[in-house]
């Protein structure tokens, strides 16, 4: 099992509790075996969909078949270390505003699993430590 988690705050919703991203071990294995497409393949799909949402045509939205197929057909990027795979996952699954824009503090951190509390009694009050 992976030893990493990603904790992050959404800059657009700073009043919400800190979120915790839990990677899939199968996905990490795939990344470390070199079976991922370049990250831009996912960004391209996300951009097209976000544009459709903003323009109010999300209900009719379908991905361009050629762009969608690139997830399976684009040349693979080669094996990643577990740490590189975590960075790739941040860029794929975290909102882009968390990591691509400059803020007055870090909006995400890659941490070890044991650093995330297992007691969820006060889950709605979790905040990222400075």
In order of 12, 107, 113, 125, the CA distances from 16 in angstroms are 9, 13, 21, 8
- Quick one: tokens of 79? 């094996």
Evaluate whether 10 touches 97 at the Cβ level (below 8 Å): yes
State the minimum distance, in angstroms, from the CB of residue 23 to another protein.
5
Q: What residues from 52 to 91 belong to the interface with another protein (CB under 8 A)?
A: 53, 58, 61-63, 65, 68, 71-72, 89
State the minimum distance, in angstroms, from the CB of residue 32 to another protein.
13
Contact between 16 and another protein by CB under 8 A: the answer reads yes
Q: Is the dihedral of CA 90, 96, 100, 101 positive or negative?
A: negative
Binding site for another protein (CB under 8 A): 1, 16-17, 19-27, 30, 42, 45-46, 49, 53, 58, 61-63, 65, 68, 71-72, 89, 92-93, 113, 116, 118, 120, 123-124
């Amino acid at each position: 099992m992976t030893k990493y988690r990603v904790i992050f705050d959404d800059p657009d919703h700073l009043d919400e509790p800190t979120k915790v991203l839990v990677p899939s071990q199968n996905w990490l294995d795939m990344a470390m075996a070199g079976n991922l497409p370049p990250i831009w393949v996912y960004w391209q799909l996300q951009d097209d969909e976000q544009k459709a949402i903003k323009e109010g045509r999300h209900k009719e939205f379908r991905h361009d078949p050629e762009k969608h197929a690139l997830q399976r057909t684009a040349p693979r990027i080669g094996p990643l270390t577990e740490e590189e795979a975590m960075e790739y996952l941040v860029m794929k699954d975290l909102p882009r505003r968390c990591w691509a824009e400059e803020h007055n503090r870090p909006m995400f951190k890659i941490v070890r699993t044991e650093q995330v509390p297992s007691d969820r009694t006060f889950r709605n009050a979790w905040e990222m430590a400075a």
